[in-house]
């Protein structure tokens, strides 16, 4: 059974979400503070997390940062009353998958949950990833089957969205991808994501995979258009 973790300090809202998610057939657990929520991400290993930002103890940003530092690629849907652009940008920079502002429509939220779970299953179930074999450029080796990246013999920890951005560019075999195309492919066309989110994840790729991030040789900016990959 698909597991959904709700990290939300409003008891009424959390229990309402639990009730409706269980009606959809999900196994649901609720955490009312950030520390408990983070512990459950490690112990219960949910398939999807609905995360509030304003939590007692450890806030949602800290929970998300700690999760990604643990290597958890679990899709995260931020659910918050904080609708400012800066909060949305920060959430996506920390590798959130969706950002929904309170108050929200329950049907829309459930559809977003289904969409995220479908996309996650599609990424892991697609047969071509296992058949691709290792991808190499410079001193970097990528194993698509295990989603691991090695540079100069050392493992590289990429955030899930940075990894997906890298693979979206590599599969184009040198063709240019616009920022809008990358937003739709990596973040889902319904996600409220800003184009500079693409740029911040590109900066992560360059910092971790280029010899000189200021003069990249593999992840190239095409001025006023987007990006392309050259091996």
Average pLDDT over residues 71-88: 84
| Residue ranges of E strands in the chain | 3-7, 27-31, 48-51, 76-80, 98-101, 135-137, 140-143, 148-151, 154-155, 177-178, 219-222, 226-229
Average pLDDT over residues 138-158: 88
Which top CATH class is 127-229?
mainly alpha
CA 100 vs. chain centroid, Å, equals 14
The β-bridge relationship of strands 27-31 and 76-80 is unpaired
117: exposed, middle or buried (Cβ count in 10 Å: 0-12, 13-18, 19+): middle
Architecture of the structural domain at 3-125: 3-Layer(aba) Sandwich (3.40)
Average pLDDT over residues 36-61: 93
pLDDT at 108: 87
**Is residue 79 within 8 Å of residue 102, measured between CB atoms?**
yes
Q: Looking at the chain, which residues constitute the CATH 3.40.50.2300 domain(s)?
A: 3-125
pLDDT at 189: 54
pTM: 0.69
Q: What CA–CA distance (Å, rounded) separates 103 from 97?
A: 19
Confidence of residue 15 (pLDDT cuts 50, 70, 90): very high
Q: Looking at the chain, which residues constitute the CATH 1.10.10.10 domain(s)?
A: 127-229
**Is residue 121 within 8 Å of residue 100, measured between CB atoms?**
no
Q: Which residues partner with 155 through β-bridges? A: 150
Residue % of the chain over a pLDDT of 70: 92
Q: Which strands, in side-by-side order, build the sheet including 148-151? A: 135-137, 140-143, 148-151, 154-155
């Amino acid at each position: 059974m698909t597991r959904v973790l709700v990290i939300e300090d409003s008891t009424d809202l959390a229990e309402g979400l639990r009730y409706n998610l269980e009606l959809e057939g999900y196994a649901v657990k609720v955490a009312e503070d950030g520390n408990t929520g983070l512990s459950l991400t490690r112990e219960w290993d949910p398939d999807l997390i609905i995360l509030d930002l304003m939590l007692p103890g450890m806030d949602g940003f800290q929970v998300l940062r700690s999760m990604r530092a643990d290597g958890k690629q679990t899709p995260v849907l931020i659910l918050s009353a904080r609708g400012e652009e800066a909060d949305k940008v920060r959430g996506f920079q920390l590798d959130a998958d969706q950002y929904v502002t309170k108050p929200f429509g329950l049907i829309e939220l459930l559809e977003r949950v289904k969409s995220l779970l479908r996309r996650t299953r599609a990424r892991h179930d697609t047969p071509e990833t296992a058949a691709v074999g290792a991808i190499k450029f410079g001193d970097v080796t990528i194993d698509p089957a295990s989603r691991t990246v090695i540079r100069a013999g050392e493992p590289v920890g990429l955030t899930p969205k940075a990894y997906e951005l890298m693979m979206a560019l590599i599969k184009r075999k040198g063709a240019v991808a616009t920022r809008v195309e990358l937003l739709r492919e990596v973040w889902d066309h319904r996600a409220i994501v800003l184009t500079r989110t693409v740029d911040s994840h590109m900066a992560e790729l360059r910092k971790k995979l280029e010899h000189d991030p200021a003069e990249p040789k593999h992840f190239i900016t095409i001025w006023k258009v987007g990006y392309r990959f050259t091996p």
